[in-house]
Amino acid sequence: MPTPSNRISGIVPSGKDGWEVHFTAWSRKQAGEDIIMLSVGDHDFHTPSETVEACVNAVRAGHHHYTQLPGIPALRAAMAKLSTRCTGVETAPDEVIATPGGQAALYAAVQGTIDHGEHAIVVAPYYATYPGTFRAAGADFTVVETRAEHGFQPDAAAIENAVTPKTRAILINSPNNPTGAVYTRKSLEAIADVCRRHDLWLLSDEVYWTLGGGEHVSPRALPGMAERTLVINSMSKSHGMTGWRIGWLTGPRPFISLLISLNLVSTYGMPDFISRAAVEALENDYGIAEIAERYAARRTMFLDAIRGMNDVVVRGSEGGMYVMLDISAIEPDDEKFAWAFLEAEKVGVMPGSSFGEAAAGHLRISMCQPESVLLEAARRLRHFISMYRREAA
Ligand SMILES: Cc1ncc(COP(=O)(O)O)c(C=O)c1O
Protein backbone atom coordinates (compact mmCIF):
# COMPACT_ATOMS: atom_id res chain seq x y z
CA MET A 1 0.00 0.00 0.00
CA PRO A 2 1.10 3.63 -0.33
CA THR A 3 2.53 5.15 2.86
CA PRO A 4 -0.01 6.23 5.50
CA SER A 5 0.34 9.74 6.91
CA ASN A 6 2.76 10.44 9.72
CA ARG A 7 -0.23 11.89 11.53
CA ILE A 8 -2.01 8.59 12.01
CA SER A 9 1.15 6.51 12.28
CA GLY A 10 2.34 8.70 15.13
CA ILE A 11 -0.78 8.69 17.32
CA VAL A 12 0.16 5.45 19.05
CA PRO A 13 3.86 4.87 18.50
CA SER A 14 4.51 1.19 17.99
CA GLY A 15 5.65 -0.96 20.86
CA LYS A 16 4.32 -1.33 24.36
CA ASP A 17 1.17 0.56 25.21
CA GLY A 18 0.83 -0.50 28.84
CA TRP A 19 -2.30 -2.58 28.28
CA GLU A 20 -0.52 -5.94 27.85
CA VAL A 21 -1.65 -7.38 31.21
CA HIS A 22 -5.22 -6.35 30.51
CA PHE A 23 -5.36 -7.85 27.01
CA THR A 24 -3.73 -11.09 28.15
CA ALA A 25 -6.19 -11.40 31.04
CA TRP A 26 -9.04 -10.63 28.69
CA SER A 27 -8.05 -13.20 26.04
CA ARG A 28 -7.64 -15.84 28.72
CA LYS A 29 -11.06 -15.02 30.13
CA GLN A 30 -12.56 -15.21 26.63
CA ALA A 31 -10.92 -18.63 26.29
CA GLY A 32 -12.85 -19.78 29.34
CA GLU A 33 -10.51 -19.23 32.29
CA ASP A 34 -12.08 -18.01 35.52
CA ILE A 35 -10.32 -14.65 35.62
CA ILE A 36 -11.48 -11.65 37.63
CA MET A 37 -11.12 -8.60 35.39
CA LEU A 38 -10.35 -5.47 37.38
CA SER A 39 -8.42 -3.76 34.64
CA VAL A 40 -11.06 -1.71 32.79
CA GLY A 41 -13.46 1.09 33.50
CA ASP A 42 -16.66 -0.18 31.96
CA HIS A 43 -19.74 -0.80 34.05
CA ASP A 44 -20.66 -4.39 34.88
CA PHE A 45 -24.35 -3.42 34.58
CA HIS A 46 -26.50 -2.29 31.68
CA THR A 47 -27.68 1.21 30.84
CA PRO A 48 -30.76 2.15 32.93
CA SER A 49 -33.85 0.58 31.38
CA GLU A 50 -35.62 3.96 31.11
CA THR A 51 -32.86 5.19 28.81
CA VAL A 52 -33.03 2.01 26.73
CA GLU A 53 -36.81 2.41 26.42
CA ALA A 54 -36.42 6.03 25.39
CA CYS A 55 -34.05 4.93 22.63
CA VAL A 56 -36.33 2.14 21.41
CA ASN A 57 -39.24 4.59 21.33
CA ALA A 58 -37.14 7.10 19.40
CA VAL A 59 -36.16 4.47 16.82
CA ARG A 60 -39.80 3.39 16.47
CA ALA A 61 -40.94 7.00 16.16
CA GLY A 62 -38.77 7.43 13.09
CA HIS A 63 -35.87 9.46 14.46
CA HIS A 64 -33.51 8.07 11.86
CA HIS A 65 -32.19 11.19 10.20
CA TYR A 66 -29.34 13.65 10.10
CA THR A 67 -29.23 15.99 13.07
CA GLN A 68 -27.92 19.52 13.61
CA LEU A 69 -24.12 19.51 13.65
CA PRO A 70 -23.64 20.72 17.25
CA GLY A 71 -26.50 18.50 18.54
CA ILE A 72 -30.27 18.74 18.34
CA PRO A 73 -31.56 21.81 20.21
CA ALA A 74 -33.18 19.79 23.02
CA LEU A 75 -29.92 17.91 23.54
CA ARG A 76 -27.83 21.06 23.75
CA ALA A 77 -30.36 22.55 26.17
CA ALA A 78 -30.26 19.45 28.40
CA MET A 79 -26.45 19.30 28.26
CA ALA A 80 -26.20 23.00 29.09
CA LYS A 81 -28.42 22.46 32.13
CA LEU A 82 -26.15 19.67 33.33
CA SER A 83 -23.07 21.80 32.67
CA THR A 84 -24.62 24.45 34.89
CA ARG A 85 -24.90 21.84 37.66
CA CYS A 86 -21.49 20.30 37.02
CA THR A 87 -19.50 23.52 36.77
CA GLY A 88 -21.58 25.91 38.86
CA VAL A 89 -21.60 28.41 35.99
CA GLU A 90 -24.88 29.28 34.27
CA THR A 91 -24.50 27.71 30.81
CA ALA A 92 -26.48 28.42 27.63
CA PRO A 93 -27.14 25.82 24.92
CA ASP A 94 -24.79 27.58 22.50
CA GLU A 95 -21.94 27.14 24.97
CA VAL A 96 -22.01 23.36 24.51
CA ILE A 97 -21.39 21.04 21.59
CA ALA A 98 -22.45 17.38 21.58
CA THR A 99 -19.75 14.85 20.69
CA PRO A 100 -19.57 11.07 20.33
CA GLY A 101 -18.30 10.47 23.88
CA GLY A 102 -15.95 12.30 26.17
CA GLN A 103 -13.03 11.17 24.00
CA ALA A 104 -14.34 13.13 21.04
CA ALA A 105 -14.83 16.13 23.33
CA LEU A 106 -11.18 15.80 24.36
CA TYR A 107 -10.16 15.54 20.73
CA ALA A 108 -12.18 18.65 19.89
CA ALA A 109 -10.71 20.55 22.85
CA VAL A 110 -7.15 19.76 21.79
CA GLN A 111 -7.77 20.38 18.08
CA GLY A 112 -9.46 23.65 18.97
CA THR A 113 -6.73 25.09 21.16
CA ILE A 114 -3.32 23.83 20.01
CA ASP A 115 -1.73 24.16 16.60
CA HIS A 116 0.91 21.91 15.08
CA GLY A 117 4.23 22.48 16.84
CA GLU A 118 2.65 24.19 19.84
CA HIS A 119 2.80 22.83 23.34
CA ALA A 120 0.57 21.61 26.14
CA ILE A 121 1.06 20.45 29.70
CA VAL A 122 -0.61 17.32 30.97
CA VAL A 123 -0.84 16.43 34.61
CA ALA A 124 -0.03 12.79 35.35
CA PRO A 125 -1.09 10.13 36.12
CA TYR A 126 -3.47 10.56 33.24
CA TYR A 127 -6.05 8.73 31.18
CA ALA A 128 -4.34 6.57 28.58
CA THR A 129 -5.58 8.43 25.48
CA TYR A 130 -4.17 11.84 26.43
CA PRO A 131 -0.74 11.55 24.78
CA GLY A 132 -2.24 10.25 21.52
CA THR A 133 -4.78 13.05 21.52
CA PHE A 134 -1.96 15.61 21.58
CA ARG A 135 0.03 13.70 18.97
CA ALA A 136 -3.01 13.67 16.68
CA ALA A 137 -2.86 17.48 16.76
CA GLY A 138 0.89 17.51 16.06
CA ALA A 139 1.36 19.10 19.46
CA ASP A 140 4.23 18.67 21.88
CA PHE A 141 3.42 18.07 25.48
CA THR A 142 5.17 17.97 28.80
CA VAL A 143 4.04 15.56 31.48
CA VAL A 144 4.04 17.02 34.98
CA GLU A 145 3.83 14.28 37.57
CA THR A 146 1.80 14.57 40.75
CA ARG A 147 3.26 12.84 43.77
CA ALA A 148 1.78 9.72 45.32
CA GLU A 149 2.77 10.92 48.77
CA HIS A 150 0.71 14.09 48.16
CA GLY A 151 -2.35 11.98 47.37
CA PHE A 152 -1.74 12.76 43.66
CA GLN A 153 -2.72 16.42 44.09
CA PRO A 154 -1.20 18.60 41.35
CA ASP A 155 1.61 21.01 42.11
CA ALA A 156 0.98 24.34 40.38
CA ALA A 157 4.61 25.44 40.75
CA ALA A 158 5.78 22.35 38.86
CA ILE A 159 3.16 23.02 36.20
CA GLU A 160 4.28 26.62 35.86
CA ASN A 161 7.90 25.49 35.47
CA ALA A 162 6.84 23.53 32.40
CA VAL A 163 5.26 26.55 30.67
CA THR A 164 7.15 27.60 27.52
CA PRO A 165 6.47 30.43 25.05
CA LYS A 166 4.67 27.83 22.91
CA THR A 167 2.38 26.51 25.64
CA ARG A 168 -1.31 26.95 24.89
CA ALA A 169 -3.12 24.64 27.28
CA ILE A 170 -3.02 22.58 30.45
CA LEU A 171 -5.01 19.34 30.64
CA ILE A 172 -6.26 18.10 34.01
CA ASN A 173 -8.70 15.40 35.10
CA SER A 174 -10.58 15.35 38.39
CA PRO A 175 -11.95 13.04 39.75
CA ASN A 176 -8.94 11.35 38.27
CA ASN A 177 -8.46 8.24 36.23
CA PRO A 178 -6.36 6.30 37.23
CA THR A 179 -5.73 7.53 40.77
CA GLY A 180 -9.25 8.34 41.99
CA ALA A 181 -7.80 11.59 43.39
CA VAL A 182 -10.23 14.50 43.61
CA TYR A 183 -8.37 17.78 43.17
CA THR A 184 -8.96 20.22 46.00
CA ARG A 185 -10.28 23.74 45.45
CA LYS A 186 -6.84 25.00 46.53
CA SER A 187 -5.06 22.88 43.90
CA LEU A 188 -7.48 24.08 41.20
CA GLU A 189 -7.16 27.72 42.26
CA ALA A 190 -3.39 27.51 41.96
CA ILE A 191 -3.64 25.98 38.45
CA ALA A 192 -6.22 28.61 37.45
CA ASP A 193 -3.79 31.30 38.55
CA VAL A 194 -1.10 29.86 36.24
CA CYS A 195 -3.60 29.81 33.35
CA ARG A 196 -4.63 33.42 33.88
CA ARG A 197 -1.09 34.75 34.23
CA HIS A 198 0.19 32.92 31.14
CA ASP A 199 -3.01 33.32 29.13
CA LEU A 200 -3.55 29.54 28.75
CA TRP A 201 -6.55 27.36 28.11
CA LEU A 202 -7.48 24.91 30.84
CA LEU A 203 -8.87 21.64 29.48
CA SER A 204 -10.76 20.13 32.38
CA ASP A 205 -11.82 16.52 32.00
CA GLU A 206 -14.74 16.11 34.38
CA VAL A 207 -16.26 12.89 33.07
CA TYR A 208 -16.26 11.43 36.62
CA TRP A 209 -17.85 14.49 38.23
CA THR A 210 -20.80 12.54 39.68
CA LEU A 211 -18.50 9.93 41.23
CA GLY A 212 -16.41 12.21 43.41
CA GLY A 213 -18.16 11.72 46.71
CA GLY A 214 -18.45 15.29 47.99
CA GLU A 215 -19.10 18.59 46.25
CA HIS A 216 -17.67 18.73 42.73
CA VAL A 217 -15.45 21.76 42.11
CA SER A 218 -15.00 22.76 38.47
CA PRO A 219 -12.22 25.23 37.65
CA ARG A 220 -14.65 26.85 35.21
CA ALA A 221 -16.33 28.48 38.22
CA LEU A 222 -13.14 30.14 39.47
CA PRO A 223 -12.66 33.87 38.82
CA GLY A 224 -11.76 34.69 35.21
CA MET A 225 -11.80 31.01 34.19
CA ALA A 226 -15.08 30.60 32.26
CA GLU A 227 -13.49 32.39 29.28
CA ARG A 228 -10.49 30.00 29.18
CA THR A 229 -11.83 26.68 30.46
CA LEU A 230 -13.12 23.85 28.28
CA VAL A 231 -14.98 21.19 30.23
CA ILE A 232 -15.10 17.64 28.91
CA ASN A 233 -18.28 15.81 29.91
CA SER A 234 -19.69 12.43 29.04
CA MET A 235 -22.72 10.27 29.70
CA SER A 236 -20.54 7.14 29.73
CA LYS A 237 -19.81 7.04 33.44
CA SER A 238 -22.48 9.21 35.06
CA HIS A 239 -25.43 7.75 33.13
CA GLY A 240 -24.12 4.23 32.49
CA MET A 241 -23.84 4.77 28.72
CA THR A 242 -20.30 3.84 27.68
CA GLY A 243 -21.31 2.10 24.45
CA TRP A 244 -23.67 4.84 23.31
CA ARG A 245 -20.83 7.24 22.62
CA ILE A 246 -22.27 10.48 23.83
CA GLY A 247 -20.57 13.38 25.54
CA TRP A 248 -20.10 17.11 25.17
CA LEU A 249 -17.73 20.01 25.45
CA THR A 250 -18.55 23.24 27.28
CA GLY A 251 -16.69 26.46 26.56
CA PRO A 252 -16.93 30.10 25.49
CA ARG A 253 -19.64 30.70 22.89
CA PRO A 254 -17.37 31.90 20.02
CA PHE A 255 -15.09 28.90 20.54
CA ILE A 256 -17.97 26.42 20.48
CA SER A 257 -19.31 28.04 17.35
CA LEU A 258 -15.92 27.56 15.64
CA LEU A 259 -15.90 23.92 16.69
CA ILE A 260 -19.09 23.24 14.79
CA SER A 261 -16.96 23.15 11.66
CA LEU A 262 -14.92 20.30 13.19
CA ASN A 263 -18.15 18.30 13.45
CA LEU A 264 -18.91 19.22 9.83
CA VAL A 265 -15.79 17.39 8.69
CA SER A 266 -15.74 14.58 11.27
CA THR A 267 -18.97 13.31 12.83
CA TYR A 268 -21.46 15.36 10.85
CA GLY A 269 -23.61 15.42 13.98
CA MET A 270 -24.80 12.82 16.46
CA PRO A 271 -27.08 9.83 15.76
CA ASP A 272 -30.71 10.96 15.90
CA PHE A 273 -32.31 8.31 18.15
CA ILE A 274 -29.36 8.31 20.56
CA SER A 275 -29.68 12.07 20.89
CA ARG A 276 -33.39 11.72 21.77
CA ALA A 277 -32.72 9.03 24.38
CA ALA A 278 -29.89 11.14 25.82
CA VAL A 279 -32.24 14.12 26.20
CA GLU A 280 -34.59 12.00 28.29
CA ALA A 281 -31.77 10.55 30.36
CA LEU A 282 -30.30 14.00 30.98
CA GLU A 283 -33.60 15.63 31.82
CA ASN A 284 -34.55 12.86 34.25
CA ASP A 285 -31.10 12.06 35.69
CA TYR A 286 -31.57 8.41 34.77
CA GLY A 287 -29.00 6.35 36.64
CA ILE A 288 -26.97 9.21 38.12
CA ALA A 289 -27.73 8.70 41.81
CA GLU A 290 -27.81 4.89 41.69
CA ILE A 291 -24.50 4.65 39.83
CA ALA A 292 -22.79 7.14 42.16
CA GLU A 293 -24.07 5.27 45.22
CA ARG A 294 -23.00 1.94 43.80
CA TYR A 295 -19.41 3.01 43.19
CA ALA A 296 -19.15 4.79 46.55
CA ALA A 297 -20.34 1.62 48.33
CA ARG A 298 -17.93 -0.58 46.36
CA ARG A 299 -15.00 1.71 47.05
CA THR A 300 -15.72 1.81 50.78
CA MET A 301 -16.16 -1.95 50.91
CA PHE A 302 -12.99 -2.69 48.93
CA LEU A 303 -10.85 -0.24 50.90
CA ASP A 304 -12.17 -1.81 54.12
CA ALA A 305 -11.10 -5.21 52.81
CA ILE A 306 -7.64 -3.86 51.97
CA ARG A 307 -7.17 -2.14 55.31
CA GLY A 308 -4.49 -3.77 57.41
CA MET A 309 -2.82 -5.45 54.44
CA ASN A 310 0.85 -5.17 55.28
CA ASP A 311 2.80 -2.65 53.21
CA VAL A 312 -0.11 -1.81 50.90
CA VAL A 313 -0.86 1.91 50.97
CA VAL A 314 -4.04 3.41 49.52
CA ARG A 315 -3.38 6.61 47.52
CA GLY A 316 -5.95 8.93 45.97
CA SER A 317 -8.99 6.61 45.64
CA GLU A 318 -11.50 9.28 46.71
CA GLY A 319 -13.66 9.21 43.59
CA GLY A 320 -14.10 7.90 40.06
CA MET A 321 -14.20 4.19 39.34
CA TYR A 322 -10.75 3.16 40.52
CA VAL A 323 -8.71 2.47 43.59
CA MET A 324 -4.95 3.01 43.55
CA LEU A 325 -2.77 0.82 45.75
CA ASP A 326 0.89 1.49 46.39
CA ILE A 327 2.56 -1.92 46.42
CA SER A 328 6.12 -0.63 46.00
CA ALA A 329 7.19 -1.85 49.44
CA ILE A 330 6.40 -5.39 48.29
CA GLU A 331 7.56 -5.13 44.67
CA PRO A 332 8.74 -1.86 43.13
CA ASP A 333 8.15 -3.23 39.61
CA ASP A 334 4.37 -2.85 39.33
CA GLU A 335 4.22 -4.59 35.96
CA LYS A 336 6.06 -7.62 37.28
CA PHE A 337 3.65 -7.67 40.23
CA ALA A 338 0.58 -7.43 37.96
CA TRP A 339 1.80 -10.30 35.73
CA ALA A 340 2.61 -12.49 38.72
CA PHE A 341 -0.76 -11.68 40.33
CA LEU A 342 -2.54 -12.68 37.12
CA GLU A 343 -0.57 -15.93 36.92
CA ALA A 344 -0.98 -16.92 40.54
CA GLU A 345 -4.45 -15.68 41.42
CA LYS A 346 -6.16 -15.06 38.09
CA VAL A 347 -6.94 -11.40 38.73
CA GLY A 348 -6.27 -8.82 36.00
CA VAL A 349 -5.31 -5.36 37.28
CA MET A 350 -3.49 -2.47 35.60
CA PRO A 351 0.13 -1.73 36.48
CA GLY A 352 0.21 1.89 37.61
CA SER A 353 3.16 2.69 35.36
CA SER A 354 0.85 2.27 32.34
CA PHE A 355 -0.48 5.69 33.35
CA GLY A 356 2.85 7.48 33.72
CA GLU A 357 5.86 7.47 36.01
CA ALA A 358 3.96 9.02 38.93
CA ALA A 359 1.91 5.86 39.36
CA ALA A 360 4.84 3.44 39.13
CA GLY A 361 4.85 1.01 42.03
CA HIS A 362 1.05 1.11 42.13
CA LEU A 363 -1.84 -1.00 40.90
CA ARG A 364 -5.00 0.51 39.48
CA ILE A 365 -7.99 -1.57 40.49
CA SER A 366 -11.30 -1.03 38.77
CA MET A 367 -14.47 -1.08 40.86
CA CYS A 368 -16.52 -2.27 37.87
CA GLN A 369 -17.48 -5.60 39.42
CA PRO A 370 -20.11 -6.60 41.98
CA GLU A 371 -19.13 -6.38 45.65
CA SER A 372 -18.78 -10.15 46.05
CA VAL A 373 -16.24 -10.27 43.20
CA LEU A 374 -14.31 -7.32 44.61
CA LEU A 375 -14.17 -9.02 48.01
CA GLU A 376 -12.86 -12.19 46.40
CA ALA A 377 -10.23 -10.15 44.56
CA ALA A 378 -9.16 -8.53 47.84
CA ARG A 379 -8.88 -11.99 49.40
CA ARG A 380 -6.73 -13.20 46.51
CA LEU A 381 -4.55 -10.11 46.77
CA ARG A 382 -3.95 -10.72 50.47
CA HIS A 383 -3.05 -14.34 49.75
CA PHE A 384 -0.80 -13.39 46.85
CA ILE A 385 1.11 -10.83 48.89
CA SER A 386 1.79 -13.28 51.70
CA MET A 387 3.05 -15.89 49.20
CA TYR A 388 5.12 -13.31 47.29
CA ARG A 389 6.86 -12.29 50.50
CA ARG A 390 7.54 -15.85 51.49
CA GLU A 391 9.03 -16.63 48.09
CA ALA A 392 11.12 -13.46 48.11
CA ALA A 393 12.41 -14.40 51.59
C1 LIG B 1 -10.61 10.44 32.34
C2 LIG B 1 -11.40 10.01 31.18
N3 LIG B 1 -11.71 10.91 30.24
C4 LIG B 1 -12.42 10.58 29.15
C5 LIG B 1 -12.85 9.29 28.97
C6 LIG B 1 -13.60 8.99 27.71
O7 LIG B 1 -14.86 8.58 27.98
P8 LIG B 1 -15.95 8.34 26.85
O9 LIG B 1 -15.32 8.59 25.54
O10 LIG B 1 -16.43 6.96 27.03
O11 LIG B 1 -17.02 9.31 27.16
C12 LIG B 1 -12.55 8.31 29.90
C13 LIG B 1 -12.96 6.91 29.71
O14 LIG B 1 -12.60 6.00 30.42
C15 LIG B 1 -11.81 8.67 31.05
O16 LIG B 1 -11.47 7.78 31.98
Averaged pLDDT score across all residues of the chain: 95
Q: Is 39 in the pocket of ligand 1 (CB under 6 A)?
A: no
- Residue 207 CA, ligand 1 centroid: distance in Å: 6
Summarize the confidence of residues 264-269 as an average pLDDT. 96
- Residue 42 CA, ligand 1 centroid: distance in Å: 10
Q: Which pLDDT tens digit goes with each residue over 331-347? A: 999 999 999 999 999 99
Summarize the confidence of residues 98-124 as an average pLDDT. 98
pLDDT band at residue 231 using 50, 70 and 90 as cut-offs: very high
Summarize the confidence of residues 295-321 as an average pLDDT. 93
Residue 389 has what pLDDT?
78
Summarize the confidence of residues 246-269 as an average pLDDT. 97
CB 175 within 8 A of CB 182: yes
Q: Is 101 in the pocket of ligand 1 (CB under 6 A)?
A: yes
- Residue 102 CA, ligand 1 centroid: distance in Å: 5
Residue 77 has pLDDT above 70, yes or no: yes
Please give the Cα distance from 61 to 204 (Å, whole number). 37
Residue 13 has what pLDDT?
78
Residue 15 has what pLDDT?
65
Q: Which pLDDT tens digit goes with each residue over 1-20? A: 999 999 999 988 766 777 89
Q: Which pLDDT tens digit goes with each residue over 9-54? A: 998 876 677 789 999 999 999 999 999 999 988 999 999 999 999 9
Residue 99 has what pLDDT?
98
Summarize the confidence of residues 288-311 as an average pLDDT. 94
- Residue 172 CA, ligand 1 centroid: distance in Å: 13
Please give the Cα distance from 167 to 198 (Å, whole number). 9
Ligand 1 pocket, mutate which of 230, 237, 241, 366 (most atoms under 8 A from CB): 237
Q: Is 248 in the pocket of ligand 1 (CB under 6 A)?
A: no
CA angle 159, 164, 168 (to 5 degrees): 80
pLDDT band at residue 128 using 50, 70 and 90 as cut-offs: confident
Summarize the confidence of residues 282-294 as an average pLDDT. 97
Calculate what percentage of the chain has a pLDDT beyond 70. Answer: 99
- Residue 288 CA, ligand 1 centroid: distance in Å: 16
Residue 356 has pLDDT above 90, yes or no: no
Summarize the confidence of residues 352-360 as an average pLDDT. 90
Residue 324 has what pLDDT?
95
pLDDT band at residue 194 using 50, 70 and 90 as cut-offs: very high
End-to-end alpha carbon distance in the chain:
55
CA angle 320, 195, 93 (to 5 degrees): 65
SS (H, E, C) the chain: CCCCCHHHHCCCCCCCCCCHHHHHHHHHHHCCCCCEECCCCCCCCCCCHHHHHHHHHHHHCCCCCCCCCCCCHHHHHHHHHHHHHHHCCCCCHHHEEEECHHHHHHHHHHHHHCCCCCEEEEEECCCCCHHHHHHHCCCEEEEEECCHHHCCCCCHHHHHHCCCCCEEEEEEECCCCCCCCCCCHHHHHHHHHHHHHCCCEEEEECCCHHHCCCCCCCHHHCCCCCCCEEEEEECCCCCCCHHHCCEEEECCHHHHHHHHHHHHHCCCCCCHHHHHHHHHHHHHCCCHHHHHHHHHHHHHHHHHHHCCCCCCEEECCCCCCEEEEECCCCCCCHHHHHHHHHHHHCEECEEHHHHCHHHCCEEEEECCCCHHHHHHHHHHHHHHHHHHHHHHC
Residue 17 has what pLDDT?
73
Residue 1 has what pLDDT?
96
Summarize the confidence of residues 344-367 as an average pLDDT. 94
Q: Enumerate domains of the chain plus CATH numbers.
A: 6-46+288-383 (3.90.1150.10), 65-284 (3.40.640.10)
CB 260 within 8 A of CB 50: no
